[in-house]
Amino acid sequence: MAAKVHITTFGCQMNKLDSELVAGELLGDGFELAEQADAADVVVFNTCSVRQHAENRVLTCLGRLAEQKAQRPGLVAALVGCMAQRQGLELLEQFPALDIVCGPGELHRLGGLIKKVRAGASQQLAVTERLRARRDVPAGLEELDVSRRAAKGFCKAQAYVRVMRGCDKFCSYCIVPSVRGREISRPPRHILDEACRLVEAGCIEITLLGQTVNSYCYGGDGREIRFAELLRKVGAIAGLERLRFVTSYPIDFSEDIFRAMAEVPAVCNYLHLPAQSGSDRILAAMNRPYTAGEYLALIERGRAIVGDLSLAGDFIVGFPGESEQDFEETVRLVRAVGYKNCFIFKYSPRPGTAAAKRLKDDVPAEVKRQRNNELLAVQEEVSLELHRAFIGQTVEVLVEGPSKSARKGRAEHQYQLTGRTRGDHIVVFDAPGRAEQLTGKFAEIKILEASALTLFGELASLA
């Protein structure tokens, strides 16, 4: 009887992609996937280290492992991802019930490590030595992407495709280069082959992933290919209806990328472009080599070329040395840009980063909370105003499945579903039939109501 594996994923889209690839690889190795952890023979925690809160959630899970393994002899527990690379052997020593620690650069080895432990081997550690000095990718790791297998539980209509690994920006607060390594762009032929196979299998929306995706640059085939050209190549795949990309870095956003967004029909008018702060002084301390004015000028160029550009941003409040004036400059930037939504975080020092080593975490926790709440409230005002402009319009939505509440619709025999517009606006609507009948299809939705986070409507027609 095949062993069953359950994967719990924490963190970003890159981790979600890694989990999907690992799930497919394990299926190919003879494992089965379990929908619930308590029905699994193997539990895998795919972890994130970007913020302490993300690690704390994992530590809570690990704290319960010994009791779970006492109740279920033979259970194998693996921790993979960024936290594994950062802490390595320390995790195995701190949690004796943990069997495997495997970094993101060693994920192609996970199936073999699980089999070893199930055969009676002791704890297994697989992390990448001298990660920040490496400029190559193990063949097995690239093969994990190239030979991806469909895994149950992942929507076949939508997919992530990695275009690069790691990051070379070295923002002073960021741990990514230490846990994901240096920036390495994948061969465009691998990306295109992967995308073509996904579309042939029924995928109609692809999101290209990179820590700084617009920094993509590949020169291994004798001719340099940058991100704008890659966008055009992937966007030309017959049958691909929508093409997105995240996350972009302001300095590397050239005009030719905006041109590709405007000229390639498949490319969506959505841009996730983290600013992190509206204060030039704090941006410099963060090692973000642009000013708030340069960031705004970039947005203006994008809107002039693309037109209806839907924007999302990231901000950190309470960075070391942030004054009230610095914070007010961030508030002004949020209002000036008019983001669809923003991801706003309180600063937390990450071990080994330049900020943690050199800067005192001197903004009190209560001030961080206050600024976080205030900026969230400002963004809520901005988002609500933008969303109210949609009321009365009919928008095209790619249906993703039941809404989180998964309750029945307002009328009998209707169900509440959710999807997204090309501009990445979340739409919740009532529709006849169960979710599986509409999931992965386009629908025209008439917008009736709006909140800061969501548009609400009713099914007008199927596209």
Q: What distance in Å separates the CA atoms of residue 306 and residue 265, rounded to the nearest whole number? A: 11
- pLDDT of residue 412 exceeding 70, the answer is no
Residue, of 439 and 271, whose pLDDT is higher: 271
Sequence letter at residue 328: E
Q: Which among 132, 172, 86 is positioned nearest to 354, based on CA atoms?
A: 172
Q: H/E element holding 95?
A: none
Q: Are 375 and 419 in contact (CB under 8 A)?
A: no
pLDDT at 408: 45
Confidence of residue 409 (pLDDT cuts 50, 70, 90): very low
Q: H/E element holding 225?
A: strand 225-226
Report how far apart the first and last C-alpha atoms of the chain are (Å, whole number): 44
Q: What distance in Å separates the CA atoms of residue 174 and residue 128, rounded to the nearest whole number? A: 19
Q: Are 48 and 82 in contact (CB under 8 A)?
A: yes
pTM above 0.85, yes or no: yes
Q: Are 204 and 212 in contact (CB under 8 A)?
A: no
Residue 358 phi/psi, 5-degree rounding, is -110, -20
Kindly write down the DSSP assignment for every residue of 263-328, as one continuous string: H-TTB-SEEE---B-S-HHHHHHTT--S-HHHHHHHHHHHHHHHSS-EEEEEEEES-TT--HHHHH
Average pLDDT across the chain, whole number: 93
pLDDT in tens, 27-65: 999 999 999 999 999 999 999 999 898 999 999 999 999
pLDDT in tens, 275-288: 999 999 999 999 99
**Residue ranges of domains in the chain, CATH in brackets:** 4-133 (3.40.50.12160), 139-386 (3.80.30.20), 394-462 (2.40.50)
Query: What residues does 225 pair with on adjacent strands?
Result: 218
Q: How many CB atoms lie within 10 A of CB 148?
A: 21
Q: Are 241 and 266 in contact (CB under 8 A)?
A: yes
pLDDT at 406: 47
pLDDT at 435: 61
**Cα 113-2-109 angle, rounded to 5 deg:** 20
pLDDT in tens, 84-142: 999 999 999 999 999 999 999 999 999 999 999 999 999 999 999 888 778 888 889 99
| 120 dihedral zone (left: phi>0; alpha: psi -120 to 50; beta) | left
Q: Give the tokens for residue 411.
A: 């009328």
Q: At what angle do helices 188-200 and 227-235 cross, to 10 degrees?
A: 20
